[in-house]
Amino acid sequence: MIGRTAIVAAAFMAAAAPVAFAGASHHGKTRTVGVNDDYYDPGKLTVHVGDKVKWVWHANGFSLHDVYVDSGPTDFHSPTQGAGSYSYTFKKAGTYKLYCTQHEDDMTMTVTVKKASKKK
């Protein structure tokens, strides 16, 4: 009888485990930013910790662009390229001032990263 109870309890726990852990981690959203000729679109973006931002180059391929952190809680940068994409997952809350090293004065953007909201 004890063996049967243990098997039933183990089966119940195994079935309930995915439900119990479903809310334990934040599965971030992906937001897209266009990298155009001399500007990012949008120029301001608000995301949460765990969210990914994907920069997609829409330029004609003749102009080179990149994404560099001017100031923020973490440094990162993309390769300098004329086409393609670059993604970064934000792990720290704060304000990130970004720019293109090829067009420093004109091509900037701000990403505000908020703490992940707790599910109730």
- The average pLDDT across 69-84 equals 96
Flag whether pLDDT at 5 surpasses 50.
Answer: no
Range of the domain at 52: 24-114
Flag whether pLDDT at 18 surpasses 90.
Answer: no
Average pLDDT, the chain: 82
Total number of domains constituting the chain: 1
In angstroms, the CA 114 to CA 93 distance is 5
Q: How many CA atoms lie within 13 A of 23 on its CB side?
A: 7
Flag whether pLDDT at 16 surpasses 50.
Answer: no
In angstroms, the CA 56 to CA 45 distance is 15
Flag whether pLDDT at 103 surpasses 60.
Answer: yes
**Residue 89 maps to a domain:** yes
In angstroms, the CA 45 to CA 98 distance is 11
**Residue 35 maps to a domain:** yes
pLDDT tens for each residue of 52-63: 999 999 967 788
Q: What is the pLDDT of residue 7?
A: 39
Flag whether pLDDT at 9 surpasses 60.
Answer: no
104 Cβ contact list (under 8 Å, min separation 6): none
Secondary structure class of 7 (helix, strand, coil): helix
Single pTM value for the model: 0.75
**Residue 104 maps to a domain:** yes
CATH number at residue 73: 2.60.40.420
Q: What is the pLDDT of residue 116?
A: 83
